[in-house]
Every structure is written in C-alpha cells, then in structure tokens.
Amino acid sequence: MPAVTETREAVEKLGLSSYKWGFETDIDMDVAPKGLNEDIVRLISARKEEPEWMLEWRLAAFRSWLQMKEPEWAKVSHPPIDYQDAHYYAAPKKKPGPKSLEEVDPELLRTYEKLGIPLHEQAMLAGVEVPEGEQARMPVAVDAVFDSVSVVTTFRKTLEEAGVIFCPISEAIKEHPELVKKYLGTVVPVGDNFFSALNSAVFTDGSFVYVPEGVRCPMELSTYFRINSRNTGQFERTLIIVEDRASVSYLEGCTAPMRDENQLHAAVVELVAMEDASIKYSTVQNWYPGDENGRGGIYNFVTKRGACRGARSKISWTQVETGSAITWKYPSCILQGEGSVGEFYSVAVTNNHQQADTGTKMIHIGKNTRSTIIAKTISAGNSDSTYRGLVRVQPKASGARNFTQCDSLLIGDQCGAHTVPYIECRNAQARIEHEATTSKISEDQLFYCRQRGLSEEDSVGLIVNGFCRDVLKELPMEFAVEAQKLLQISLEGSVG
C-alpha cells in the first residue's frame, strides 16, 4: 500500500535525533476557555450536540473525579499537574458535518499526509500496485482524530456493506445510542481510577467499532491521534464491541508537536469480546517524548481494558511504546468467558529523561482461561522504565494458566529498569509461570555487527529489534516495519 511506504520513507528520512512529527499545523481552531468545571463539561457536551443522557453521564463522572486523587503508586515523578491550566476542547473550525474527504480542510489533509497517514481512499485504491515479492495487502480504514474531534473516517462504505460500524464515538452516541449506552463504561467503570473518571467527564472523541455476529472485519481498522493545539489535553475514548464469532484487528497511532510544556493525554479504551470473538488491538505510541534535557513531552495516562465475556473469546494487546515523557498504561484483560484467552505483547523504550510505568493485568475469572504476557523493556540515557503486571486467578478459574516473560535491556549505565510482578492466585489448580531477565547491550554484539559493515546506530537498532522480535512479530506487517524504524530512532544517540 503506497501510503504506508510513504510512512516508512518519512520515517527513514529522519535526521539525527529529531522528532520528525514535531511540526505544528496552522489552522483556525475553536478552543474552549482554560479550566475544568461543570460548565466546561456542559460546553463539551453541547459542542458535540449530545443527548441529555450523555451529559448526565459526564457530569456524574466529573463529580466522582472531584472526589478522587491522582494515583501515586506508579514509579514516575512529575511536577503537580494543574488541571485548571489546560483547554479541554479544541476543534478545527469547520462544521464537523458529513465527513467526506472533499469537505475536510485541505490543511488538515496535508498534515496527515505529512505524517504518512493514508486518508486518500481514491489514491490508495488506485495505487495498490504490489511490488514483486511482496504480498498484496489489505487497505486500512482510518479514523483521524485531530485534537478533540475526528476529522475523517475512511472506507466507511466498504465497512458498512460488511455490517461493520466504524465511526467517531461522538457520532455513535447520536446514531447508535442503544449500543453506546449498553457498553460504555461497562469495562472501565467511570470511577475506576482518577484518569478514567477525568476522561469520562471530558472525552471529546475517539473511535467506535461494532462488528456484528459472524463477521470478520474485511480490513484493518486504525485510528490516528494527533494533538496539535497548545495547552490542550487530549481525552479520547474508544469502544470496540465484537459479537459472537466475529473478529477485528485495530491499530492505533499517535504523534504531537514538539513543545516545551507538558501536555496531558488521558485515554480510555474499552473492548468487549463475545463468544468465539477475537480482538487484536495494536498500538504504536509515539507521542512527543520531550527533549534531551527532559523538557516538554506528553504525559500519557491511559486506561485500556478488554472484557472477554464470551466463551473462547480472545483479546490480544500489542503495544510499542516509544514516545511520551511519562507513560502510565496497563492494558488489561478480564477473562470471564470459559476458555477465553488474553495476550499482552509489549515493547517499551525510554531514552533521555523519559519515564514509563507500564504492564498489564490479567484477571482470570472463568475456567480454563489462559494468558500470555511478553514484555520487553529497553532503557537508555537517563530514563527509567518499570514493568508492572498483575496476574489474578479467581477461585472459580480452575485450569487457568499464565505465562509471563519480562526482559529488560539496558543501554548505558544511567538508566533504570524494574520489574514488579504481582501474582494473586486463589485457585490451587492454576499454573502461573514467570520468567524475567535483565541484560545490557553487549560490546561483543555491537562489534560483531560493525565488523560486518553496520554503523553503530544500525547495529543497536538491529540488536534491539532482535530483542523485541517476539513482540514485533505480533504486529500487523505494516506496523511492524514502522515500529522497527521507530525503535531505532528513539534510541539514536544512546550509545557511543
């Protein structure tokens, strides 16, 4: 697919240690005044022309948030966040209206083009020339979210024909209220944690996916998040529901301009998988990480959780986390259905002054539920990375099995890597295995590669990619290539 080749080239053209995606789009914006109070919540709801029940839901969330405290258990540190000093709504001026490509501000389209995001269906369809030796690929449907709103969703028609609903969540609230009402907040309850409560009060957009019974979604679905405006938080909400014997693969990417200040991104993602359903959720997280001195960057506080409600359902999280100043994120699986399967494959890279506290929770409730956790942590520079994972086996989960493998790779001697596994087993027949390793990138390996003609940076890239192999191979092919390049870019300047 040409657009993806472009992405790859765009990434390749990166100079030394620069954040390529750091540009800013000059576009006329509709921005809410700074601050967070009930009026702002009402304003957001009004701007989105939401029904009354949604506003009530938000207000309830806001009130519970007011009672809550920011969590302190994560191994991250940052100056206190002033929640009143940010804008909670920013949208390109232009009626959201019907979202055909022609109506999208050309400046916006150029932005996504620059980012290498394939929004032009026409061009993509026309240009599906398959280079020799490579397999034909599925097109990817994209929902592009710019600051607080979805600006365009591609391939909607094709998807509709298959019965798949893929649209901005703001639209789903209006068009499919019964589905949204039924599922929103059922996996991540409003009051689950500080950031999910905040998100529930002020979320502005995100994607909604519904795959009906028996349907295998005919293409990869993807959402691309872009924070552009200054002093703006991004709070997106994603809800994916996959009915019996249906399946979907969903990708998520994100970038932000380079800024001196820290910006907050607090997303909530809820997945529901019914009987024999499967959801594959892949993330390549590339928010601006801040500069070499730790100035600026995104605070990425995210709650992602999937419920395997049906028997034999499967939810698989794959994440490559290279960006953000701070990452706080634990994509989890609630394994309710008998024989359901949860997977978590993660690569987290931190360099310079980045901090990451990430991992997963696997909650085994049903019989014979299985989970696999493969977490690879790479720390360089002065960064600090923690894997935090919980495996809980409930009393009724006979035959539950978990396998966890956590590997840390250190580059240099100023960085830190920590592994914090929590295991709570209340069923004697469950089997839980945990393996952990920590290693340094070895001089022998580096020298071997360089002797074969690879530059030092390419050698590090190769070794790191090898280290992450087990995770990268879980990504859809297009993403895998991009992720590999990203890993290398994120580590530039980390050796020598």
Partner 1 sequence: MSQFLDISGLNARIDADGQEKEILRGVDLVIPPGEVHAIMGPNGSGKSTLSYVLAGREDYEVTSGSVSFQGKDLLEMEPEERAAAGLFLAFQSPVELPGVNNANFLRTAVNAVRRARGQEELDAVNFLKTVRAAAKELGMSPDMLKRNVNVGFSGGEKKRNEVLQMTLLQPSFAILDETDSGLDVDALRIVAEGVKRLRSPQFSALVITHHQRLLEYIVPDRIHVMAKGRIIHSGGPELAQQIDREGYTKFLAEAA
Residue type, 15: G
| DSSP string over 370-385 | EEEEEEEEEE-TT-EE
**Tokens 């990425």, located at residue:** 300
Per-residue interface string for the shown chain with partner 1, residues 6-25, x marking contact by CB under 8 A: --------------------
Q: Among 292-300, 320-328, 425-433, 461-469, which window interacts with partner 1 (CB under 8 A)? A: 461-469
Nearby residues of 361 by Cβ (< 8 Å), 6 or more positions away: 305, 330, 332, 333, 389, 390, 391, 392
Cβ closer to partner 1: 429 or 455? 455
Two tokens, residue 329? 């994120």
Mark 450-481 as b/e (b = at least 16 C-beta within 10 Å).
Answer: eeeebeebebbbbbbbebbeebbebbbebbbb
Q: Is 462 in the site for partner 1 (CB under 8 A)?
A: yes
According to CB under 8 A, which one of 123, 466, 477, 493 is a site residue for partner 1?
466
Q: Among 229-237, 301-309, 389-397, 446-454, which window interacts with partner 1 (CB under 8 A)? A: 446-454
Task: In angstroms, give the least distance from the CB of 445 to partner 1.
Answer: 5
According to CB under 8 A, which one of 13, 95, 157, 452 is a site residue for partner 1?
452
According to CB under 8 A, which one of 133, 136, 157, 178 is a site residue for partner 1?
133
Q: Among 51-59, 100-108, 307-315, 466-474, which window interacts with partner 1 (CB under 8 A)? A: 466-474
According to CB under 8 A, which one of 93, 426, 458, 493 is a site residue for partner 1?
458
Instruction: Please state, in angstroms and rounded to a whole number, the distance separating the CA atoms of residues 441 and 495.
Output: 10
Contact set for partner 1, span 468-487 (CB under 8 A): 468-470
Beta bridge partners of 320: 284, 347
Q: Among 336-344, 385-393, 423-431, 457-465, which window interacts with partner 1 (CB under 8 A)? A: 457-465
According to CB under 8 A, which one of 393, 460, 463, 487 is a site residue for partner 1?
463
According to CB under 8 A, which one of 65, 112, 194, 467 is a site residue for partner 1?
467
Q: Among 103-111, 161-169, 184-192, 442-450, which window interacts with partner 1 (CB under 8 A)? A: 442-450
Q: Among 166-174, 234-242, 322-330, 467-475, which window interacts with partner 1 (CB under 8 A)? A: 467-475
According to CB under 8 A, which one of 429, 455, 477, 493 is a site residue for partner 1?
455
Task: In angstroms, give the least distance from the CB of 418 to partner 1.
Answer: 22
As to burial, measured by CB atoms within 10 angstroms (0-12 exposed, 13-18 middle, 19+ buried), residue 276 is buried
CA atoms within 13 A on the CB side of 385: 32
Two tokens, residue 464? 């790191």
Q: Is 414 in the site for partner 1 (CB under 8 A)?
A: no
Q: Is 450 in the site for partner 1 (CB under 8 A)?
A: yes
Task: In angstroms, give the least distance from the CB of 456 to partner 1.
Answer: 8
- SS3 for 476-489 is CHHHHHHHHHHHHH
As to burial, measured by CB atoms within 10 angstroms (0-12 exposed, 13-18 middle, 19+ buried), residue 364 is buried
Task: In angstroms, give the least distance from the CB of 388 to partner 1.
Answer: 24
CA atoms within 13 A on the CB side of 121: 14
Rounded to the nearest 10 degrees, the angle between the axes of helix 477-490 and helix 456-472 is 140
Cβ closer to partner 1: 79 or 453? 453
Instruction: Please state, in angstroms and rounded to a whole number, the distance separating the CA atoms of residues 278 and 242.
Output: 7
Instruction: Please state, in angstroms and rounded to a whole number, the distance separating the CA atoms of residues 207 and 254.
Output: 14
Q: Is 224 in the site for partner 1 (CB under 8 A)?
A: no
Q: Is 20 left (phi over 0), alpha (psi -120 to 50) or beta?
A: alpha
Instruction: Please state, in angstroms and rounded to a whole number, the distance separating the CA atoms of residues 317 and 343.
Output: 6
Q: Is 136 in the site for partner 1 (CB under 8 A)?
A: no
Q: Is 135 in the site for partner 1 (CB under 8 A)?
A: no
Cβ closer to partner 1: 167 or 463? 463
According to CB under 8 A, which one of 102, 161, 260, 444 is a site residue for partner 1?
444
Q: Is 449 in the site for partner 1 (CB under 8 A)?
A: yes
Interface contacts to partner 1, rule CB under 8 A: 132-133, 442-445, 447-456, 458, 462-463, 465-470
